[in-house]
Amino acid sequence: MKKIASVFVVLLVMSAASIKTYAQVSIGISVNTAPPVLPTYTQPPCPVDGYLWTPGYWAYDQDGGYYWVPGVWVNPPQVGYLWTPGYWGYDGAVYIYHEGYWGHHIGFYGGVNYGYGYAGSGYVGGRWAGNSFQYNTAVVNVNNTVVHNTYINKTVVNNVTVNNNSFNGPGGVTAKPGPQERAAEKEEHVQPTSDQISHRQVAVKDQSQFARNNNGHPTTAAMNRVNGSRFTPEGNNARAFSRSNANNNPAKPRPSESTDHPVSNRPRLVNNQPRPEGEGNQARPVNQQRAITPHRQVPAQHHAAPHRERQH
């Protein structure tokens, strides 16, 4: 009986360990249709010294389909950590999303060119120098009144997406992970922070971010920080643009309704225009289908923030 009990305890411990390991692994979703092409947009300036850029991406909701999560500057979970973006991978049957993560080195993100330092492999938008992050202003946009740790390396200029492919696999990017990326995948990782998860949850509640409503051209393409200012693909303030557009294009009442109660229209969306540095393709309409497997988000791990925001 003691031997049986010992075996049971060992199995219980192994089971608990496997559950813990499973909880630390990012669980993606699989979809039958490809994500839209990546929109080309202007990066807002970094608002706080020490913040790192996380590029925008197409996420998926079971009810609404693909929606755009704006690119945003965020506070890294630890000093010395870099962000490896998530990416969609196509295996010939379904499109599977691989969640991004934080680590000491950049891992494989599908070879997708997200722009602003994420050209498909590695990151050239900046580097850690001790406890400070230095920004390559040839690649990223910073607010020089608050960010002073900068350098210029014009040999790596690649600010905008080139081919706009949003997934890896047949019909998309055909890149394979290199030795350094494979090594980075085996390192200790930190999952998306609570701010990043909150940022995605806000995006999924905004119907204007869904590809079925914007035809692949989201009005809010980027933000300067989580819960901060919204920017159109051209770099204009999205909320100011919406108010201005509504004033210039007042809603017309339907024939059957009184002019005392006009019907409010959504502001007309801006066509996605690439910046002078590069040229992107127009996004294609998306044929939405429900996900094969449910989306499971893994809670973010909490870490002490390496930088404290300046109080105004």
Residue 221, classed as helix, strand or coil, is: coil
Stretch 293-300: mean pLDDT: 38
For the whole model, what pTM was predicted? 0.70
Q: Domain of 100? A: 27-248
pLDDT band for position 198 (50/70/90)?
Answer: very high
CB 118 within 8 A of CB 111: no
Tell me how many domains the chain contains.
Answer: 1
Residue 84 domain flag: yes
Asked if the structure places residue 80 within a domain, the reply is yes
In a domain, 259, yes or no: no
Q: What is the CA radius of gyration of the chain?
A: 22
Q: How large is the average pLDDT for residues 219-223?
A: 97
pLDDT band at 157 (very low <50, low <70, confident <90, very high): low
Which candidate, 223, 108, 113, places its Cα nearest to that of 158?
113
Per cent of the chain over pLDDT 90 is: 62
What average pLDDT does this structure show over 70-93?
97
Residue 152 in domain: yes
State residue 158's pLDDT score: 56
Average pLDDT over residues 200-213: 97
Band (pLDDT 50/70/90 cuts) for residue 95 is very high
**pLDDT for residue 216:** 95
- What's the chain's average pLDDT? 76
In a domain, 301, yes or no: no
Q: Is the dihedral of CA 101, 107, 110, 115 positive or negative?
A: positive
Instruction: Decide if pLDDT at 86 tops 50.
Output: yes
Phi then psi for 182, rounded to 5 degrees? -65, -40
Confidence of residue 159 (pLDDT cuts 50, 70, 90): low
> Which residue bears the tokens 């009990």?
5
**The pLDDT of residue 119 is above 90:** yes
| pLDDT(57) > 80 | yes
What is the helix (H) or strand (E) element at residue 195, kind and residue range?
helix 194-204
pLDDT score recorded for residue 223: 98
Can you tell me the distance from the alpha carbon of 240 to that of 258, in angstroms, rounded to the nearest whole number? 29
pLDDT at 155 (0 to 100): 80
Strands (E), the chain: 30-31, 52-54, 57-61, 65-69, 71-74, 82-84, 87-90, 95-98, 101-103, 126-129, 132-136, 150-151, 167-168, 222-223, 230-231
Residue 289 contacts residue 32 (beta carbons within 8 Å): yes
Structural domain contains residue 244: yes
Q: Which two tokens stand for residue 259?
A: 């002019």
Q: What is the pLDDT of residues 164-186, one digit of tens each?
A: 899 999 999 999 999 999 999 99
Query: d(Cα 241, Cα 286) in Å, to the nearest integer?
Result: 26
Structural domain contains residue 302: no
Asked whether the predicted pLDDT for residue 5 surpasses 80, the reply is no
Quickly tell me which residue has 């090594």 as its tokens.
183
pLDDT of residue 154: 82
Torsion of CA 38, 44, 49, 52, to 10 degrees: 0
* Structure confidence by residue, pLDDT tens digits, 261-282: 333 333 333 333 343 333 333 3
In this prediction, residue 257 carries a pLDDT of 33
Residue 197 maps to a domain: yes
The reported pLDDT for the residue numbered 238 is: 78
